[in-house]
Structure 1
Amino acid sequence: MASRKPGQPVRTADPATVAGRLGPSEREDTWRRLGEETFDLVVIGGGVVGAGTALDAATRGLRVALVEARDLASGTSSRSSKLFHGGLRYLEQLEFGLVREALRERELMLTRIAPHLVKPVPFLYPLTHRVWERPYTAAGLFLYDTMGGARSVPGQKHLTRAGALRMVPALKRDALIGGIRYFDAHSDDARHTMTVARTAAHYGAVVRTSTQVVGMVREADRVSGVRVRDVEDGREIEVQANAVINATGVWTDELQRLSGSRGRFRVRASKGVHIVVPRDRIVSESGLILRTEKSVLFVIPWGSHWIVGTTDTDWNLDLAHPAATKADIDYILDHVNTVLATPLTHDDIEGVYAGLRPLLAGESEETSKLSREHAVARVAPGFVAIAGGKYTTYRVMAADAVDAAAVDLPGRIQPSITDKVPLLGADGYHALVNQADQLAAKAGVHPYRVRHLLNRYGSMVHQVLALAENRPELLKPVAAAPDYLQVEVVYATSHEGALHLEDVLARRTRISIEYAHRGVDAAEQVASLMAEVLGWDDATRKREVEVYAARVQAERDSQMQPSDEAADALRSKAPEARAEIVEPVS
């Protein structure tokens, strides 16, 4: 590798040749563009709705910038149940339109938009009541299938108790009288969101993380841009735009106050906690969906793990770092153990994560009854807010947000076309799956490694492997997280916008929830790999490791607390990786 001055980033490839690349060399260019250009739209928020809005606008031919205070998917969009699903339980609430819309979106993801990232997954619905439950559930699943739930995946299949136990041997025999298998889909939410953002960049959007909105720019009574702060170094500039879209999820009300506009709707945060356990702790060929007194509990296949969740409780504390409590974890264990022959214990848990659902506030005090519909409103000239909804319908929400902003844009805008736009990595994916053995032989790795890479990067796998052409050691696994190759860390930093250790351990990979050490044992090696690309000196690398370790310890401590308040007090003590981030000024 060529010598460089301390603190100077490594240039790993000519950025002009890499579509949608979010690397160190692009970062300074995007700052310059934010200050110099006038945009049609500035989108605030790097979750899936914000990323989707940027992609929708860019593919309509609009000039768009996306700014995110922390990292892509750093909030709700990396802490979901990881499902693309129609919402089977919404049928009982008679929300047929929402279910139909979600099933259409799920189908688009599976077949056209993101087949490399979104995969079918079977679920068993255990039946526990004789006579009425099977026909009642079958009728609901029939409706689910006919609304679009069985286009590219099998329809429902009815099972006797013996058949259900063969599918899920982990169940207690007396926990069911039979079962029904149906299909939905799942995805790595953080990777999907990041890929949506990169696709937006590919089509011309300016995408910049660690860029916090700290004020609104106004001309008379209209919003005409935003003031942003680079939370890596404290610089501030004004960004000019014809319209601004607030797609900040649970932060919607805070941004509303920053704009000085009165909102048209209010967002409430509902905390959802999930646990991750090893695959061998629940012997099953499919996922599970279990009824609870409040909602449903999912047991979701996740590589060599299971994700089990979720909870559903109001959260009124730190929006950036929601904390799981011992009570949350006990709730999940108690409910799943009612049906498991061999109960799960706290010692089985490899990872825990807590996320916040941005729900539209309604009359009911129970968050599970708040609407999962979304709302979009032009709250002031030049300022649009969108909130609510669910991960699965992000693309519909994005199109609605851009449509709502159209009144503030010069000329007539084109209709949304994102139902026809594959995400980066989708084109050519199926052919590469068939060529996995040849790719593996050429790269000198096992074919299962190539299949792993294809299901994370799709046809961008060539970019990943190219980084190791002159550095074969990068094709070795991360020592403390052998599911991932070292080259994936380098690629996350050089192409996927990762700026901090937690960006890689918690979102570009899922090491933070897939290993009992929560990423701490891998931190030194991963930080060293990142340092080569970002030009970190030893002091910076050491600080990154220390900050990450403090985050993990704070999370572990919070997960032993009985209440939200106690857990939040401990979690909030951990230092921020982005040291220059500031509280919004109201």
Structure 2
Amino acid sequence: MNREKNWERLRKETFDVCIIGAGASGAGAALDAALRGYRVALIDQGDFAGETSSRSTKLIHGGVRYLEQAIKKLDLAQLKQVRHGLAERRTVIRNAPHLAHPLAILTPVFSWVEGMYMTIGLTLYDFISGHDSFPKGRWLNKTQALDKSPRLTRQMHSAVLYYDGQFNDARYALALTHSADEAGAAVLNYVALTNFGHEGKRIKTATVQDQITGETIDVKAKVFLNCTGPYSDAVRLLANPTLDQRIRPSKGVHIVLPRETLDSEYAILIPKTEDGRVVFAIPFGDKVFVGTTDNDYADLKHEPVLEPSEVDYLLETLQPYLDKTPDRADVQAGFGGIRPLIVSSRADTKTLLRDHEVEHDDTSGLLSLLGGKWTTYRLMAQDAIDRVAELLKSSVRSTTETHYLVGGENYRFEDWQTLQKKYDLPADVCQHLMRTYGNRAEHVAELAQQNPTLAEKLTDSQPFIQAEVVYQVREEMAVTLRDVLARRWRLELSDWKLTAQLAPQVADLMATELGWNDAYRIEQIQGYQRLLASFTKQAGLTPERSVFA
């Protein structure tokens, strides 16, 4: 992905559709439209998946909570959502197998009755999923459950095992964006929409500013599609100030604990909490993510951060399910995201449907893709581009269901051994490269071969090598430290202290590639370290967890 070339395209071309917002739905829509042969522009005021789409629970699922509500309330809309989610679960994994895979999840229960209830529900969940490649769940006795997850509480009666999908959300969105670029779309990060140009009341252009250079241009397109998630109302009102607001933002946070917290490949589902939520404890890399919360959130100008009360809530929720409960000193990081829930008459955000809607404003002509969730991003994108096709008076069908994303085609994890033999890199590095870049892993290894210094790890505790930073700048449009450390790698999510320690090394590599002067390089390092320190302080974590300790 070449940022300068794509900026020139924005300046000169007239597009069939300009998509605003490069999270899951926007990147998915860009790929769908490009594969249909449309001329596509995709812009985001920050990095690709820089907001909500990189801060999920990392699950691809139909939603066991939605299934329970559908049965209890005879709610066909909830049941339809579960069915769509389970169908798309297969597609998400098939199209990027290096970034997504099945995940075993245990639900500890404390009585025979509770075990039977969960078994019936999860058997129905498996039935709705149809004949896919996921293993089927079953009811385990206490000994079997402890064998699979030895840190579970000895107070449990038994546990129910089922399977859903797990994925690397930020890199999945990046793969969508990269695939759209290779299909012909002009994709750019750090390009902010500042205004619309109207002819009468109809939108004809979008005024955008490059957040790196400050340059402003007008982008010309036949259709404009708003995919900005929780920020959708701001774009809608910019296009037509008379519209009503449609989004009710909800904040969800996760805490990050050491892998030893579970000491298992199996995740845990906590099916009921004091306030009716569902909480997961999920192994991810060398950590465990615990979340999520669900509360109204109105301060969209500020990034959602982990707060002390949220840390306490998640630790207290986890406590009955583990033999040894972690405490605040064990929390190594955390992250928050904002769900774009559609306004309805439902009383609170926990009961709002995560379904989507494609809205067409007849006055301005703006299309907005509202609501939704990660698992059904492809269906959301397909529905949105179907509406684009109607406006363009075109009838090209979507082909995204069977389109491999960048890195996914002919992927075999076992090929890490071939990579190791050919490039003489450590086994953990080769495995990491395969899981991160798929069939593009060799491109990173070739950089390390051309310059042996780039084959060096940044730290002994992680498999990251210097060549990755060079590749991410040249091929994945990384332009800030956070692009690398938070999204192309997921280190910021899992360890604030280590992220701060590695920032200077990453900055040195990026400075060489991007031509940063020394003052700008230092500004990048210190600004990022201050941000990480503020996360620690706002979460109320112990001084030992300070990024400067």
Whether the 8 Å contact between 2:231 and 2:300 is mirrored in structure 1 is no
Corresponding residue for residue 466 of structure 1: 446
Partner amino acid, structure 2, of 1:389: G
1:130 partner amino acid: W
Offset of 1:365 from its aligned partner?
A: 3.2
Which of 390, 393, 399 in structure 1 is aligned with 2:376?
393
Equivalence for 2:15: 39
Alignment correspondent of 2:122: 141
What one-letter code is carried by the residue in structure 1 that aligns with 2:409? Answer: D
Please state if 1:412 is matched with 2:394.
yes
Structure 1 contact 42–225 (Cα < 8 Å) conserved? no
| Corresponding residue of 1:577 | none
1:481 and 1:511 in contact (8 A); partners too: no
1:217 touches 1:223 (CA, 8 Å); kept in 2?
A: yes
Q: Equivalents in 2 of 1:61, 1:164: separation in Å?
A: 51
Instruction: State whether structure 2 residue 395 is matched by structure 1 residue 435.
Output: no
Residue of structure 2 equivalent to 1:58 = 34
Deviation at 1:142, TM superposition (A): 1.7
Alignment of 1:331 with 2:307, yes or no, is no
Identify the residue that residue 504 of structure 2 maps to in structure 1: 524
Q: Does residue 148 of structure 2 align to residue 167 of structure 1?
A: yes
8 Å CA contact 1:362, 1:371 repeated in 2: no
1:89 aligns with 2:65: yes
Amino acid at match of 1:427: E
How far did residue 68 of structure 1 move? 0.3
Matched residue, 1:11: none
Contact 1:350/1:518 (8 A) holds in 2: no
TM-score, normalised by the number of residues in structure 1: 0.88
Instruction: Classify 1:183/1:392 alpha carbon distance in 2 versus 1 (closer, same or farther; 3 Å).
Output: same
Distance 1:387 1:373 in 2: 9
Structure 1 residue ranges (4+ consecutive) displaced by more than 3 angstroms after TM superposition: 261-265
Counterpart residue number, 2:478 = 498
Quote the Cα distance in structure 2 between the aligned partners of 1:511 and 1:403.
Answer: 37
Whether the aligned pair in 1 keeps the contact of 2:358 and 2:370 (CA below 8 Å) is yes
Q: CA deviation at 1:264?
A: 6.5
Q: How has the CA–CA distance of structure 1 residues 205 and 265 changed in structure 2, closer, same or farther, with 3 Å as cutoff? A: same
User: For residues 430-456 of structure 1, what are the alpha-carbon distances to aligned partners after superposition, in whole Å with 9 as ceiling and x for unaligned?
Assistant: 2xx333222201111123321211111
- Counterpart pick for 2:492 among 496, 512, 533: 512
Alignment of 1:339-358 (within 5 A): 339-358=321-340
Give 1:302's aligned residue: 284
Identity of aligned residues (%): 37
Residue 70 (structure 1) aligns with: 46
| 1:106 aligned onto 2:82 | no
In the alignment, the residues of structure 2 paired with residue 406 and residue 262 of structure 1 have an alpha-carbon distance, to the nearest angstrom, of 26
- Mark the CA change 1:413 to 1:421 in structure 2 (over 3 Å): closer, same or farther: same
Alpha-carbon distance in 1 for matches of 2:244, 2:358:
9
> What residue number does 2:299 align with?
317
Q: 1:166-221, CA deviations, whole angstroms, 9 ceiling, x for partnerless residues?
A: 222212211x2111111111111111101100000010000011100001122223
Cα deviation for residue 149 of structure 1 reads 6.2
User: 1:83 is aligned with what amino acid?
Assistant: L
Q: Is the Cα–Cα contact under 8 Å of residues 224 and 382 in structure 1 kept in the other structure?
A: no
The match for 2:455 is: 475
Contact 1:492-1:498 at 8 Å conserved across structures:
yes
Q: Measure the CA separation in 1 of the matches of 2:532 and 2:470.
A: 22
1:228 aligns with 2:208: yes
Instruction: Provide the residue aligned with 1:28 in structure 2.
Output: 4
Q: TM-score, normalised by structure 2?
A: 0.94
In 2, the alpha carbon distance for the partners of 1:136 and 1:64 equals 49
Distance in 2 between the 1:27 and 1:375 partners? 31
Q: Are 2:111 and 2:158, in contact at CA under 8 Å, matched by a contact in 1?
A: no
- Work out the CA distance in 2 between the residues paired with 1:315 and 1:412: 39
1:370-404: CA deviation from partner (whole Å, max 9, x where unpaired):
11111111013531001111111000000111112
Q: What one-letter code is carried by the residue in structure 2 that aligns with 1:100?
A: R
What is the alpha-carbon distance in structure 2 between the residues aligned to residue 245 and residue 207 of structure 1?
A: 14
Assess if the C-alpha contact under 8 Å between 1:86 and 1:149 holds in 2.
Answer: no
CA distance in 1: counterparts of 2:130 and 2:531, whole angstroms = 40
Match of 1:288 in 2: 268
Q: Which residue number in structure 2 is paired with residue 371 of structure 1?
A: 353
The alpha-carbon deviation at position 139 of structure 1 amounts to: 2.1
CA distance in 2, matches of 1:459, 1:506: 22
Unpaired runs of 5+ residues, structure 2, are 71-77, 542-549
SS in 1 for 2:417: helix
3-state SS of paired residue (2:442): helix
Q: Shift of residue 480 of structure 1?
A: 7.0
Partner of 2:547: none
Shift of 1:254: 0.8
Q: What CA RMSD, in Å, does the superposition of the two structures yield over aligned residues?
A: 1.6
Q: CA deviation at 1:550?
A: 1.4
CA distance in 2, matches of 1:346, 1:220: 57
Residue type of the alignment partner of 2:390: V
One-letter amino acid of the structure 1 residue matched with residue 288 of structure 2: W
- Tell me the equivalent position of 1:15: none
Q: How far apart, CA to CA, are the structure 1 residues paired with 2:415 and 2:232?
A: 45
Any idea what the Cα deviations from partners look like across 1:541-560, whole Å, max 9, x if unmatched?
11100110111122112112
Q: Secondary structure at the match of 1:399?
A: helix
**Matched residues in 2 for 1:522 and 1:449: separation?**
17
Give the structure 2 partner of residue 19 of structure 1.
Answer: none
- Between the aligned partners of 2:406 and 2:512, the Cα distance in structure 1 is 26
Measure the CA separation in 2 of the matches of 1:316 and 1:287. Answer: 31
Q: Would you say the 8 A contact 1:42–1:243 is kept in 2?
A: yes
